[in-house]
Structure 1
Amino acid sequence: MTEESRLPHPDREDIELTVVLFALSDVARLALVRQLSDGPLDMVDCSLGADMPKSTKSHQVKVLREAGVILSELHGRNRRLTLRRPDLDARFPGLLDAVLAGDRTD
């Protein structure tokens, strides 16, 4: 992967709880995290609502990436999104499980 195609991601030790909680506080971002809990997805395959503009979807992904919740890597002509479960579990044990087990009716 070329340096130009890499997006900045925080190192594990730089992931902050308040930033992660903010990223997970949005319904659309939480829905994306729930989708990624089943495994990596290409960004085009993530469903965040049929009427969501591409720019808004990109912004939601950026917030999660910059918080350290997901990894976004170039994969062909697309971006592959992966939940950073090992990093989040190491930094905040049980947090992700609690969030994912929460009420899914929002």
Structure 2
Amino acid sequence: MELSQPACYSGSMRLMKLPNIEDIDITDVMYALSDPARVEIIRLMASTNEAMTCGDLQLDRPKSSMSHHFKILRSSGIVQTQIEGKEHYNTLRTEELENRFPGVFKSIIKYLLSQ
């Protein structure tokens, strides 16, 4: 899945620390998907081919709650976050996860998008 860059992309984004794909364990991915709020985040992100900010997701949750969920999604290896100024642009690591766990993540995404 090719993701488009955010409209304001200027080439000066920095990537937040994330685990190497080889270090991701399937139990970490499944733990991250065990929370309904994180599942909703993944579903919304999968429904678009664009990087999304927390504000784009509009889940009516406190900023601290969203930060917590994104921290778990990043540490599990599901999401990568790039920072430009004050904005945090989040994308799914679909292709990388598909290479690491063939058939698993794309099946999860397909299921979530059918709901």
Q: 92, 96, 101: which is aligned to 2:105?
A: 96
Question: Is 1:85 aligned to 2:94, yes or no?
Answer: yes
Q: Output the amino acid matched with 1:74.
A: I
**Count of residues in correspondence between the two structures:** 101
For 1:1-106, what aligned pairs fall within 5 Å after superposition? Answer: 6-37=15-46, 38-39=48-49, 40-48=51-59, 50=60, 52-102=61-111
Moved over 6 A (4+): none
Deviation at 1:41, TM superposition (A): 0.7
**CA-atom RMSD, angstroms?**
2.0
Q: Output the amino acid matched with 1:100.
A: I
* Structure 2: tracts of 5 or more residues without a match: 1-11
Q: TM-score, normalised by structure 1?
A: 0.83
- Report percent identity of matched pairs: 33
1:37-91 Cα shifts (integer Å, max 9, x gaps): 122212221122x2x1110110000000010000011033210000000111011
Deviation at 1:96, TM superposition (A): 1.5
Q: Output the amino acid matched with 2:42.
A: V
Helix, strand or coil for the counterpart of 1:90?
helix
* Structure 1: tracts of 5 or more residues without a match: none
Alpha-carbon separation, structure 2, partners of 1:85 and 1:17: 14
Alpha-carbon separation, structure 2, partners of 1:43 and 1:53: 10
